[in-house]
A and B are shown apart, each in its own frame.
Chain A
Amino acid sequence: MLAKRIIPCLDVTDGRVVKGVRFVNLRDAGDPVELGARYSQAGADELVFLDITATIRSRKTMVELVEKVAEKVFIPFTVGGGISTVEQMDELLRSGAEKVSINTAAVNNPTLITQAAQRFGNQCIVLAIDARRCPEKPRRWNVCVKAGTQPTDLDVLAWAIKAEKLGAGEILLTSMDADGTKAGYDNQLNKAVSDAVNIPVIASGGAGKPQHLYDAIISGGADAVLIASITHFQNYTIEQLKQYLKSRGLPVNL
């Protein structure tokens, strides 16, 4: 049986891992290669590295980072942040990343998803969605782009369904409302999206205690959970989180 995955997310800027609350108030959390290697040894199922600066200069740094990580990390990892062409994806995948995640570029040019899927296979293409609750309408979320700074009118559910058709292999679904709050994932959002698509959904934003991970999987229907604050600052270990999920009857790779 397929194990439920716990995926630490490392937001990288200027060569350091940082973590904020609702995408702002960033706090230093260490060296990305070191932290990645530590997570790999500690039993993380996968890793995500997000270049949150996403400038031309930082992109070059990301390729070097991916090469270094690939030498030390023997679990799959995804790279994202500012990726807008198939050539950039090729460079990152050749450098050792297992998957690439795209967000703003896919919203601007949805055919990018199809081009990438046809070349690398659907399983390589992660569509990242930053979702914000629409204040006027219940159970409606809008897609935000440019690292959450720019709201769009795009409905998250419609976008997820379209992206699956275009060839996305996985959805990394971040609730901007919950991000960094440690108050739990937005499981209405997770449930709505995971019911609407057939590809795996990674719940992201809001994990503060083990129960939140369980809830994202059971109430939110998530295939995997993204974490950051909960383990970056040594509040919990990956093993503690997996032991908890196992004790609640979920399959984990422990």
Chain B
Amino acid sequence: MLSNQPRDIENAAGLILPGVAAFGFAITALGSLAELIKQLALNGKPLLGICVGYQMLFEKSTEYGRHTGLALIKGNVIPIPEGRTIPHMGWNLVKLPKDMDLFTGCGSERYFYFAHSFYAEITDTNAKIAYTDYGFALPAAVRKENIYGTQFHPEKSGRTGLKVLKNFAELCKRQNP
């Protein structure tokens, strides 16, 4: 379900932070819910950030100004380096690490849909990262304990993308039997 009500958010088995927006607009729109989501995630509720929602998991972003994120995972959101077409737009091949449960049953590499000009430079040593190649190793997905994020859009990535969302729903269920 889609909600901005604190009670719904507290009662949910897991949370998805979606995103089609610029970073500053998105984090401002979240307002006081940002702190609630952060506390719930720190207390073990599964959280999946998508695109800008994924970028908000990190500490800071420089998209149209300087903005502070949820700081659940160490790293900063910075522009994709010049010398290639920007935005990074379209289907790119992601190498899927075996030990990332978001990708269970998806195989060793799959195409996912990306649309972004900024990316997360992840410095958190406790984070598992899946990469895609865009002339450099670009982080495509992350997991730190119960906190998950994808730079790509699983909801727009056809059958494989739906499988990723299903995997997230499954692990939410396991967490809340």
List the interface of chain A (C-beta within 8 A of B).
1-3, 5, 40, 45-46, 74-76, 93, 98-99, 117-124, 169-170, 198-200, 223-224, 253
B124 within 8 A of A: no
B45 within 8 A of A: no
Tell me if A's interface is mostly helix, strand, loop or mixed. loop
- Are A170 and B86 in touch, CB under 8 angstroms? no
Q: Are A199 and B85 CB-contacts (below 8 A) given A121-B20, A121-B21, A121-B52?
A: yes
Q: Please tell me which one of the listed residues A117, A119, A170 contacts residue B89 in the complex, with CB atoms under 8 A apart.
A: A170
- Are B92 and A3 in touch, CB under 8 angstroms? yes
Chain B, range 57-100, C-beta contacts under 8 Å to A: 63-64, 82, 85-93
Q: CA A1 – CA B90 in complex, angstroms?
A: 10
Q: Are A223 and B91 CB-contacts (below 8 A) given A76-B115, A121-B63?
A: no
Looking at the assembled complex, report how far the CB atom of A138 sits from the nearest CB atom of chain B, in whole angstroms: 27
Looking at the assembled complex, report how far the CB atom of A169 sits from the nearest CB atom of chain B, in whole angstroms: 5
Instruction: List 13 A-B residue pairs with CB atoms under 8 Å apart, sorted by A's residue number.
Output: A2-B88, A2-B92, A3-B91, A74-B161, A75-B157, A98-B156, A119-B21, A120-B25, A121-B116, A170-B89, A198-B82, A223-B89, A224-B90
List the interface of chain B (C-beta within 8 A of A).
20-25, 52, 63-64, 82, 85-93, 111, 113, 115-117, 133-134, 153, 155-159, 161-162
- Are B92 and A120 in touch, CB under 8 angstroms? no
Q: Please tell me which one of the listed residues A45, A74, A198 contacts residue B90 in the complex, with CB atoms under 8 A apart.
A: A45
Contacts of A74 in B (CB 8 A): 155-159, 161-162
Q: CA A1 – CA B155 in complex, angstroms?
A: 21
Q: Are A2 and B22 CB-contacts (below 8 A) given A74-B161, A75-B113, A200-B89?
A: no
Q: CA A36 – CA B91 in complex, angstroms?
A: 18
Contacts of B91 in A (CB 8 A): 2-3, 5, 45, 253
Listed from nearest, the 10 A-B pairs whose CB atoms lie closest are A123-B115, A253-B91, A253-B111, A123-B87, A3-B91, A121-B22, A76-B156, A2-B92, A200-B89, A5-B90
